[in-house]
Amino acid sequence: MNWSSWSEFFSMGGYGVYVWGSYFVTFVCIIGEILLISKRRRTLINKYGQIYESNKETYSVPEDGSKLDNTKTNEQEISDTRTNKNSNKEEISNETTS
């Protein structure tokens, strides 16, 4: 397609309003999507920052510098599970005899 002037190019043979209108709507949608994505990113960063800060306070190191030992060995977990099962059985048997 050869256009002899810029006005012919912009009129696009009488369809310029539709063509350029489509470009405009597409451009607005793309810019809107970019803005929404950046807003969601900022919101997530703020939310994760708040979660990190709350967890940091919960699991902070004591002031005396000692480490917290929150890990249990498998043997401790197994004995805790057995203790809980036995106490549950005793509670059930006490309820049925009463």
Q: What is the pTM of this model?
A: 0.48
Nearest to 16 by CA among 31, 5, 30: 5
- Max CA-CA distance within the chain? 103
Considering only residues 11 and 73, tell me which one the structure prediction assigns the higher pLDDT. Answer: 11
In a domain? residue 67: no
In a domain? residue 43: yes
Host domain of residue 39: 32-57
In a domain? residue 49: yes
Residue carrying structure tokens 């057995």: 82
In a domain? residue 37: yes
Q: How many domains does the chain have?
A: 1
In a domain? residue 94: no
In a domain? residue 82: no
In a domain? residue 50: yes
Asked whether the predicted pLDDT for residue 13 surpasses 90, the reply is no
Q: What is the pLDDT averaged over residues 60-78?
A: 58
